[in-house]
């Protein structure tokens, strides 16, 4: 088969590649820009405001991220095969171009087609208002003029290459600067053209990211309005659709109105509904109920929801699976923090003053909890306690310190196994403090809540930040969609002045 026919056949093969493969390649390319941590482009004003953050489209903003790691069976081997086919055919094409340019006289027809495509890509990277750059590219890469120069043997290839690289440097994101600079050191025209197309393909994906990021506020607003309109349609057909939601908020308001448990201990302060800023102050002078407090308590109650209770709030039914995932993460963090707290009381500050040891102990505990997540917690803690005791014993030995005695080892294992009981005093305190942290996240935000973590939680700060961010993201989107309905319900539960003081829709 002639080479031209083989190339045509190659592109026909590409048309049969599954869309999932192309999406995977797009994600891989786009991640390069997001990982850099830099703003978009410092040279052109329209890109300075861009920040490499994840993009969530309407309808998938917070419900389908759990499927992000899904990979169909056989997809990996299929992707490897496609990659080999692409690489083989690309090599054949560029070898063919090299033969054309090495001929006597050189045949520039194929190269001119590539220059035309480069011109189109550069123009596609511009915004509509960038007329000056558009005119400059049109003039510098005038295909009719370049064709005439090629026919007369006066085509200035180095000048064209330098202009294209300068324009790429101007338009690319900072993460691509190094790749463009490497192209400047290539003298072979075929290798240079191939490198230019490789970098331009990445720049096109960067532009897609920027475009989606620019549209994100409009997409999110459209998503909110769309979900609210669909729910209103259902509510018009079924007026009792908010009954469970009303009972959910009523229960939260009742819990907050109940008197605080007596006793001067810190646990009573932790139970306060407004203990975010200062537990002692909140316990001594509780604030009147507000929509923010009631909603925060209601959202926290969802993390303790009885799976057999069918009266789940209608406004959160689509988020129930994610809330169950957060509940599982919360339970695992409670056990993890309890294990670390008990272990530190036996090994002292020597071992737990080492970040490497703490990280290792956390990895071991997480791995074992994940392995036994489908089994009773008693079985998981049995294995965890033995492994943790072994890690502490070995680390003390490696540091030349006295190892735990047999009595202390037995006591450590026993106390760690007792963490499996929800009534365990250490686990109970840790659970209360994590719930307090999550409540503060809803009121103050994650970053401010991390500034003053309750005791026993500092060792899991990173994990708490991740959990808090997920929880706040879910509840914030829910409040934006269903805020007006919550406001109407709370008008019947709270004094009018308090409802008007803090509108739910503005949370």
The alpha carbon torsion through 153, 158, 164, 169 (nearest 10 deg) reads 180
User: Which of 199, 214, 229 represents a domain boundary (last residue)?
Assistant: 214
Domain annotation covers residue 452:
yes
What is residue 283's predicted lDDT score, i.e. its pLDDT?
A: 38
Residue 181 shares a structural domain with residue 249: no
Degrees, nearest 5: CA angle 188-189-191: 70
407 by Cβ neighbours in 10 Å (0-12 / 13-18 / 19+) ranks as exposed
pLDDT tens digits in sequence order for the chain, 507 residues long: 444 443 434 343 344 333 343 334 434 443 333 333 333 333 333 333 333 333 333 344 444 443 334 344 455 566 788 888 888 888 888 888 888 878 878 888 888 888 999 999 999 999 888 899 999 999 999 999 999 988 887 888 888 889 999 999 999 989 899 999 999 988 888 888 899 999 999 999 998 888 888 888 888 899 899 999 999 999 999 999 999 999 999 999 998 887 655 543 444 444 444 456 543 344 344 567 788 889 999 999 999 898 888 889 999 999 999 999 999 999 999 999 999 999 988 877 778 888 888 899 999 999 988 887 778 888 888 899 999 998 888 888 888 887 888 888 899 999 999 999 989 999 999 999 999 999 999 989 999 999 988 888 999 999 999 999 999 999 999 999 999 999 999 988 887 655 555 555 444
Domain annotation covers residue 231:
no
- DSSP character at residue 238: -
Helix 109-124 to helix 189-237 angle (10° resolution) is: 40
Residue 203 shares a structural domain with residue 248: no
Helix 157-171 to helix 131-140 angle (10° resolution) is: 160
Residue 208 shares a structural domain with residue 243: no
What is residue 230's predicted lDDT score, i.e. its pLDDT?
A: 94
Residue 35 shares a structural domain with residue 181: yes
Phi, psi of 376 (to 5 degrees): -60, 150
Residue 192 shares a structural domain with residue 289: no
What is residue 427's predicted lDDT score, i.e. its pLDDT?
A: 93
Residue 270 shares a structural domain with residue 162: no
Domain annotation covers residue 507:
yes
Rounded to an integer, what distance in angstroms lies between the CA atom of residue 124 and that of residue 169? Answer: 15
Domain annotation covers residue 91:
yes
Domain annotation covers residue 377:
yes
pTM of the model: 0.66
Domain annotation covers residue 70:
no
What is residue 300's predicted lDDT score, i.e. its pLDDT?
A: 94
CA 421 to chain centre: 33
Residue 254 shares a structural domain with residue 341: yes
Nearest to 433 by CA among 231, 275, 263, 220: 275
Nearest to 471 by CA among 328, 269, 267: 328
pLDDT tens, position by position, 62-112: 444 433 343 444 555 667 888 888 888 888 888 888 888 788 788 888 888
Residue 378 shares a structural domain with residue 254: yes
Is the preceding peptide bond at 379 cis, omega within 30 degrees of 0? no
Q: Where are the beta strands (DSSP E) in 58-109?
A: none
Domain annotation covers residue 63:
no
Residue 457 shares a structural domain with residue 356: yes
Residue 417 shares a structural domain with residue 474: yes
What is residue 196's predicted lDDT score, i.e. its pLDDT?
A: 92
What is residue 78's predicted lDDT score, i.e. its pLDDT?
A: 64
Report residue 344 as tokens.
């530190």
Residue 418 shares a structural domain with residue 473: yes
Domain carrying residue 361: 238-507
pLDDT tens, position by position, 4-39: 443 434 343 344 333 343 334 434 443 333 333 333
Residue 168 shares a structural domain with residue 264: no
Domain annotation covers residue 62:
no
Using alpha carbons, list the distances in angstroms from residue 427 to 132, 274, 418, 433, 438. 66, 22, 9, 10, 16
User: Which of 198, 214, 230 represents a domain boundary (last residue)?
Assistant: 214
- Provide DSSP, 9-45: HHHHHHHTS-HHHHHHHHHHHHHHHHHT---S-SSSG
Q: Looking at the 3D structure of the chain, how many domains does it have?
A: 2
């Amino acid at each position: 088969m002639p080479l031209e026919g083989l190339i045509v056949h190659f592109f026909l093969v590409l048309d049969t590649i599954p869309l999932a493969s192309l999406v995977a390649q797009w994600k891989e390319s786009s991640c390069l820009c997001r990982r850099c941590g830099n703003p978009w482009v410092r040279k052109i004003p329209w890109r300075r405001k861009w920040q490499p953050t994840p993009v969530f489209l309407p309808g998938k903003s917070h419900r389908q991220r759990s499927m992000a790691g899904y990979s169909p069976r056989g997809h990996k081997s299929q992707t490897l095969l496609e990659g080999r086919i692409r690489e083989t055919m690309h090599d054949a094409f560029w070898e063919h171009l090299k033969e054309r340019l090495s001929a006597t006289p050189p045949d520039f027809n194929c190269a001119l087609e590539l220059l035309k495509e480069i011109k189109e890509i550069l123009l596609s990277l511009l915004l509509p208002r960038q007329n000056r750059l558009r005119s400059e590219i049109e003039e510098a890469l005038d295909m009719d003029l370049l064709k005439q120069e090629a026919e007369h043997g006066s085509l200035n290839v180095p000048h064209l290459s330098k202009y294209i690289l300068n324009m790429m440097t101007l338009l690319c994101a900072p993460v691509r600067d190094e790749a463009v600079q490497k192209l400047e050191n290539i003298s072979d025209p075929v290798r240079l053209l191939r490198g230019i197309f490789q970098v331009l393909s990445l720049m096109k994906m960067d532009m897609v990211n920027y475009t989606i990021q620019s549209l994100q506020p409009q997409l999110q607003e459209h998503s909110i309005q769309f979900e609210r309109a669909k729910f209103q349609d259902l509510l018009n057909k079924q007026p009792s659709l908010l009954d469970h939601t009303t009972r959910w908020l009523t229960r939260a308001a009742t819990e907050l109105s109940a008197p605080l448990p007596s006793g001067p201990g810190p646990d009573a302060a932790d139970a306060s509904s407004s203990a975010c800023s200062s537990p002692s102050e909140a316990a001594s002078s509780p604030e009147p109920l507000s929509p923010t407090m009631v909603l925060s308590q209601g959202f926290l109650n969802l993390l303790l929801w009885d799976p057999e209770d069918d009266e789940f709030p209608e406004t959160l039914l689509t988020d129930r699976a994610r809330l169950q995932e957060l509940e599982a993460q919360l339970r695992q963090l409670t056990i993890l923090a309890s294990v670390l707290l008990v272990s530190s009381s036996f090994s002292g500050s020597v071992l737990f003053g080492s970040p490497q040891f703490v990280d290792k102990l956390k990895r071991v505990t997480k791995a074992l909890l994940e392995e036994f997540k489908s089994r009773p917690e008693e079985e998981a803690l049995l294995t965890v306690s033995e492994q943790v005791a072994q890690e502490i014993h070995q680390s003390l030995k490696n540091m030349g310190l006295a190892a735990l005695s047999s009595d202390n080892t037995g006591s450590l294992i026993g106390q760690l196994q007792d963490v499996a009981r929800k009534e365990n005093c250490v686990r109970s305190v840790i659970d209360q403090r994590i719930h307090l942290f999550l409540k503060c996240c809803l009121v103050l935000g994650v970053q401010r809540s991390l500034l003053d973590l309750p005791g026993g939680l500092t060792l899991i700060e990173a994990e708490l930040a991740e959990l808090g961010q997920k929880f706040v993201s879910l509840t914030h989107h829910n409040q934006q969609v269903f805020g007006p309905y919550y406001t109407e319900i709370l008008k019947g539960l709270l004094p009018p002045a308090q409802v008007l003081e803090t509108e739910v829709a503005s949370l």
